[in-house]
């Protein structure tokens, strides 16, 4: 949940005057998005989302994110579509922060993941990978293997259990010695968790939150989804969900043999990535912050599961 | 900001099946209301607010609040109107909490109060008082003078300055010795701050948040509004705003001579009431709570202002 920046009446009015979407009939902070302030805006012509980019987003990267949403929407992907002002710009300032208006997507994110969600998620992910192939801008993945050690070093003092610190150190050394490269790559979402996927009457209706999108291996995005969608609340792995997700993905984009071979390793790396960012946030989020901290240990269980798999057959394919 | 209770897909579906308003197209937690969880619900037929009543609301009082909104809406007051299910009920359970759906009000609450807001607020307050006269249910004001000492006793240990503790004690003794009674009474809003009043294109478009409504003196509600609407951020009193508010009120319901005479005292009491509840919340809200604590000292400044007034002339009338 997140509304960090209050917007005054005059600021909102001046901001909306740059657009052709009518005046504000309603403007409510919404409890979605941990990184930014999001408002639901209702005007005479419809509903929109106004996002103010807070300090964790680098303003220099916003043209990549907004351009990507423009690009994907133009190719039929149901994602928030940036609204351009009369000057053609989608990005401007509101209340002293970079801000943009995007279209409002109908749908609800599934609070409880069912196997029937996973096929459509896989298929939508592949559709996203295909639609992004000719997107001209590039953004390296700052949270790939090269970014993991700094997160670990900044957080290891908080790990009470020496065996656990040792285990994570071993994982880092293992991945630093050889992270798959040369796999088919392009724009990936990199954060396609269930709160970023909307369903409407049992059909997938949209994908949101492209603020981790970057250039990386497509199969790594699949590996993130295996972590995000295929573990039960008790951390047991649900191979039925994984099979549905992978089969859904392959309906739109079949995995190449090398991607299939590397999938267990990529899934293990993805688990380490979310473990380390959660650990970092756990250690560095002040007690009183208006952000709910997420338990990193869920990803330790996932990591250990993936370390024990032998091939893509363990993921239901 | 407040979303305390997560609602699962199945719970929401079962809940909405009791109503004739269509299925959920969107369901987003909104950052409004400090006491309850509020969701914006979009269905094929329109927009609604779903409220889950959290522990600070006594479920036995909900029939009063919902009945009052029904009553006022039927008399033309623009307030959230409870939506009744097919069984005729407006109140049921969602995710283990009492919950209700109300209509969605268009408009924005003014972040910066202008003199032009104050006349309409006064007039709407009087309209509310008149519309509530034949409401049959009753709810005593738990936060009137009899409720103040317990708040003070539970918080006084946190007051570092002995002179300030003494000043508040003196105020309590003063009001306990003689609080105005016999004034014209009925249903009052009791919390009509600027975030509870919507404006749309410079016209007042609605009043929300009736969860402090109760039976008490009408003039006390006016006194609360004088505190809520007529002080600048630097705590100076703006007599232009107060005059506009009182004149607006009298356009719909002229104050009786005794109400005018008691207004300075009621305003001073209202300042003490908000000072004490804020002090209590300041002391008793845990550091990590997802609620922004409000500074009680703003009401000390207001209290001292009102103690120095002689008559309603000091409020611009």
pLDDT 10s digits, B99-114: 999 999 999 999 999 9
- Report the first-to-last Cα separation within chain B, whole angstroms: 37
| Residue A190: CB atoms within 10 Å | 21
The kind and range of the H/E element at A48 are strand A46-52
- DSSP, collapsed to helix, strand or coil, labels residue A28 as strand
Mean pLDDT of B195-200: 96
Is residue A49 a contact partner of residue A101, using CB atoms and an 8 Å limit?
yes
At B205, the pLDDT band (50, 70, 90 cuts) reads very high
Does residue A195 carry a pLDDT above 90?
A: yes
- DSSP, collapsed to helix, strand or coil, labels residue A47 as strand
**Interchain pair A29, B27: CB under 8 A:** no
Pair of tokens at residue B239:
């007599």
B286 and chain A in contact, CB less than 8 A: no
Please state the φ and ψ torsions of residue A28, each to the nearest 5 degrees: -125, 130
Longest Cα separation, chain B: 60
Share above pLDDT 70 across residues of chain A, in percent, rounded to a whole number: 96
A14 and chain B in contact, CB less than 8 A: no
Q: What is the mean pLDDT of chain A?
A: 93
Domains of chain A: 9-103 (3.30.200.20), 115-315 (3.90.1200.10)
**Interchain pair A28, B29: CB under 8 A:** no
ipTM score of complex: 0.82
Q: Residue B204's closest chain A neighbor by CA?
A: A25
Listed in sequence order, the DSSP H helices in A86-231 are 115-131, 145-153, 162-177, 218-229
Output b/e per residue, B132-155; b: 16+ Cβ within 10 A.
beebeeebebebbbeebeebbeeb
Q: Residue B104's closest chain A neighbor by CA?
A: A26
B103 and chain A in contact, CB less than 8 A: no
At B3, the pLDDT band (50, 70, 90 cuts) reads low
A160 and chain B in contact, CB less than 8 A: no
Of B294 and B218, the structure prediction assigns the larger pLDDT to B218
- DSSP, collapsed to helix, strand or coil, labels residue A39 as strand
Share above pLDDT 90 across residues of chain B, in percent, rounded to a whole number: 86
What is the pLDDT at residue A33?
Answer: 67
- What are the pLDDT digits (tens) for A132-142? 999 999 999 99
**Interchain pair A287, B288: CB under 8 A:** yes
Closest by CA to B137, choosing from B210, B66, B79, B219, is B66
What is the pLDDT at residue B34?
Answer: 64
B179 and chain A in contact, CB less than 8 A: no
Among A32-46, B63-77, B287-301, B302-316, the least confident range: B287-301
What is the pLDDT at residue A3?
Answer: 61
Q: What is the mean pLDDT of chain B?
A: 93
What is the pLDDT at residue A1?
Answer: 38
Q: Which of residues 220-259 of A touch B (CB under 8 A)?
A: none
**Interchain pair A112, B3: CB under 8 A:** no
Torsion A268-A270-A273-A278 (CA) sign? negative
Share above pLDDT 90 across residues of chain A, in percent, rounded to a whole number: 86
∠ CA(B315), CA(B316), CA(B317), 5° rounding? 100
Interface test with A, best of B3, B7, B8, B9 (most A CBs within 10 A): B9
What is the pLDDT at residue B33?
Answer: 66
**Interchain pair A290, B1: CB under 8 A:** yes
Interface test with B, best of A30, A103, A282, A293 (most B CBs within 10 A): A30
The partner residue sitting opposite A9, judged by closest CB among B7, B10, B110, is B110
Tokens 């003092």 label which residue?
A157
Share above pLDDT 70 across residues of chain B, in percent, rounded to a whole number: 96
- Whole-angstrom distance, CA of residue A117 vs CA of residue B299: 52
Among A158-162, A179-183, A192-196, B100-104, the least confident range: A158-162
B27 and chain A in contact, CB less than 8 A: yes
**Interchain pair A31, B3: CB under 8 A:** yes
What phi-psi label fits residue A111: left (phi over 0), alpha (psi between -120 and 50 degrees) or beta?
Answer: alpha
- Whole-angstrom distance, CA of residue B132 vs CA of residue B189: 10
- Whole-angstrom distance, CA of residue B233 vs CA of residue B124: 24
Does residue B207 carry a pLDDT above 90?
A: yes
Pair of tokens at residue B292:
């922004």
**Interchain pair A112, B8: CB under 8 A:** yes
What is the pLDDT at residue B31?
Answer: 80
What is the pLDDT at residue A109?
Answer: 94
Mean pLDDT of A283-290: 67
Pair of tokens at residue A149:
């050690």
Please state the φ and ψ torsions of residue A191, each to the nearest 5 degrees: -155, 40
Is residue A70 a contact partner of residue A82, using CB atoms and an 8 Å limit?
yes
What is the pLDDT at residue A143?
Answer: 94
- Whole-angstrom distance, CA of residue B163 vs CA of residue B168: 9
| HSE-CB for A225 with a 13 A CA cutoff | 30
Please state the φ and ψ torsions of residue A199, each to the nearest 5 degrees: -125, 145
- What are the pLDDT digits (tens) for A14-45? 999 999 999 999 999 998 766 788 999 999 99
pTM of the model: 0.88
Q: What is the DSSP string of chain B?
A: --------HHHHHHHHTTSSS--EEEEEEBS--SSSEEEEEEETTEEEEEEE--TTS-GGGHHHHHHHHHHHHHTT--S--BPP-TTS-S-EEETTEEEEEEEPPPBB--SS--HHHHHHHHHHHHHHHHHTTT-----B-TTSHHHHHHHHHTTGGG---HHHHHHHHHHHHHHHH----SS-EEEE-S---GGGEEEETTEEEEE---TT-EEEEHHHHHHHHHHHHSB-TT--B-HHHHHHHHHHHHHHSPPPHHHHHHHHHHHHHHHHHHHHHHHHHHHHS-TT-SS----THHHHHHHHHHHT--SGGGGT-
Is residue A304 a contact partner of residue A265, using CB atoms and an 8 Å limit?
no
What is the pLDDT at residue A5?
Answer: 80
| Residue A314: DSSP 8-state | G
Pair of tokens at residue A206:
């949209």
**Interchain pair A3, B1: CB under 8 A:** yes
Using only C-alpha atoms, what is the Rg of chain A?
20
At B285, the pLDDT band (50, 70, 90 cuts) reads confident
- What are the pLDDT digits (tens) for B128-182? 999 999 999 999 999 999 999 999 999 999 998 999 999 999 999 999 999 999 9
- What are the pLDDT digits (tens) for B43-97? 999 999 999 998 878 899 999 999 999 999 999 999 999 999 999 999 999 999 9
- Whole-angstrom distance, CA of residue A190 vs CA of residue A193: 9
Closest by CA to A53, choosing from A32, A34, A28, A36, is A36
At B239, the pLDDT band (50, 70, 90 cuts) reads very high
Using only C-alpha atoms, what is the Rg of chain B?
20
């Amino acid at each position: 949940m997140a509304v960090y920046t209050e917007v005054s009446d005059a600021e909102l009015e001046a901001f909306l005057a740059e657009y052709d979407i009518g005046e504000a009939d309603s403007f409510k902070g919404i409890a979605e998005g941990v990184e930014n302030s999001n408002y639901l805006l209702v005007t005479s012509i419809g509903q929109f989302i106004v996002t103010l980019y807070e300090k964790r987003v680098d303003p220099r990267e916003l043209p990549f994110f907004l351009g990507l949403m423009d690009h994907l929407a133009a190719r039929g992907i149901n994602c928030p579509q940036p609204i351009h002002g009369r000057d053609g710009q989608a990005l401007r300032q509101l209340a002293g922060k970079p801000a943009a208006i995007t279209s409002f997507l109908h749908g609800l994110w599934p609070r409880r993941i069912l196997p029937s969600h996973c096929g459509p998620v896989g298929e939508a992910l592949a559709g996203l990978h295909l639609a992004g192939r000719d997107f001209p801008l590039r953004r390296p993945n700052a949270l790939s293997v090269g970014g993991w050690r700094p997160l670990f070093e900044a957080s290891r003092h908080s790990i009470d259990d020496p065996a656990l610190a040792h285990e994570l150190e071993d994982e880092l050394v293992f991945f630093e010695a050889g992270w798959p490269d040369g796999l088919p790559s392009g724009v990936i979402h990199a954060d396609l968790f269930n709160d970023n996927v909307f369903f409407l009457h049992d059909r997938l209706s949209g994908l949101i939150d492209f603020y981790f999108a970057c250039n990386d291996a497509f199969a790594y995005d699949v590996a993130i989804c295996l972590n995000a969608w295929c573990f039960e609340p008790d951390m047991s792995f649900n191979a039925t969900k994984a099979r549905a997700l992978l089969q859904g993905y392959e309906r739109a984009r079949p995995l190449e043999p090398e991607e299939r071979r590397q999938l267990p390793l990529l899934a293990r790396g993805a688990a380490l990535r979310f473990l380390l960012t959660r650990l970092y946030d756990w250690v560095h989020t002040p007690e009183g912050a208006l952000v709910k901290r997420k338990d990193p240990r869920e990803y330790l269980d996932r990591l250990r599961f993936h370390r024990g798999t032998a091939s893509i057959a363990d993921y239901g394919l």
